[in-house]
Amino acid sequence: MTNFEQQRVDATAYFRSLQDRICAGLVQADGQAQFREDTWTRPGGGGGRSRVMVDGGVFEKAGVNFSEVFGQMSPEFAKSLPGEGLDFSATGVSLVLHPRNPKIPTVHANFRFLVKGDRAWFGGGADLTPYYPYREDVIHFHKTWKAVCTRHPAPVDYAKFKKWCDEYFYLSHRQEPRGVGGIFFDYLEGDVDAVFRFVRDCGDAFLDAYVPIVQRRKNESYTEAERQFQEFRRGRYVEFNLIYDRGTVFGLKTGGRTESILMSLPPVVRWLYDYRPAPGTREAELYDVYLKPRDWAEES
């Protein structure tokens, strides 16, 4: 067994257990609903477990997906990734959580390991998409990821990963960020064992980064107008995932399960024509203050 093969086995086992632990933590945070699990197989090789929670006490829709797939890429798609040939394997966890209460932000995270020919690398990250942001929540989220990054040597670099996240989760056709960012990294290779330790640290930190925000905001009151604004901003989420998201493209291009790939989409969304928030409102504050990259981890 080559080092890459052993790393794939170890990463697969870790990601499978991470899905279990994150789902258990989210069931506890929700306090009402359970996850439905679907196991699936990919015709070209591999499969996964998709877990989705709907109409919970906190989460209107929450999806946590584990997959381990392998086989051959199309020649056209293979050219877009490092490594020789068409053979590949990929394993990872991807999640998106859409709370019902607009005072609780949507969150996304994914952690993955890919092997293609003579190359192997880790990628992943986590980012926060608030609708009515609270400063302490945004700072907490960023500080959590900075603390994880500072525990690891190069190529881990918080400043680089934070900037990468700001640039990646950006809707260029709208000229606006999707949310307040977090960390994003891809093509981390070299000392694969050291990088894997970092990725495990990230996965283990996810609940600590997000659940305290849920606990602080789940009993906040909200109006129908605030709910409608949340649905409008969810439209930006949909646009990003369908136009730019690498995970969506990878899953569709490699013959993944469509229901699992698109589980990230929210259940209720609206698009408004030429919407502009009224000056001085909390909606305007989102645009004027929070949808502008800044070093939140250094604030208090």
> Which residues carry out catalysis?
108
Degrees (nearest 5) of the Cα angle 167, 172, 173?
165
State which amino acid sits at residue 178. R
The three-state secondary structure class of 93 is strand
DSSP string, 110-151: EEEEEEETTEEEEEEEEEEE-SS--HHHHHHHHHHHHHHHHT
Q: Smallest Cα–Cα separation from 139: which of 298, 2, 286, 270? A: 298
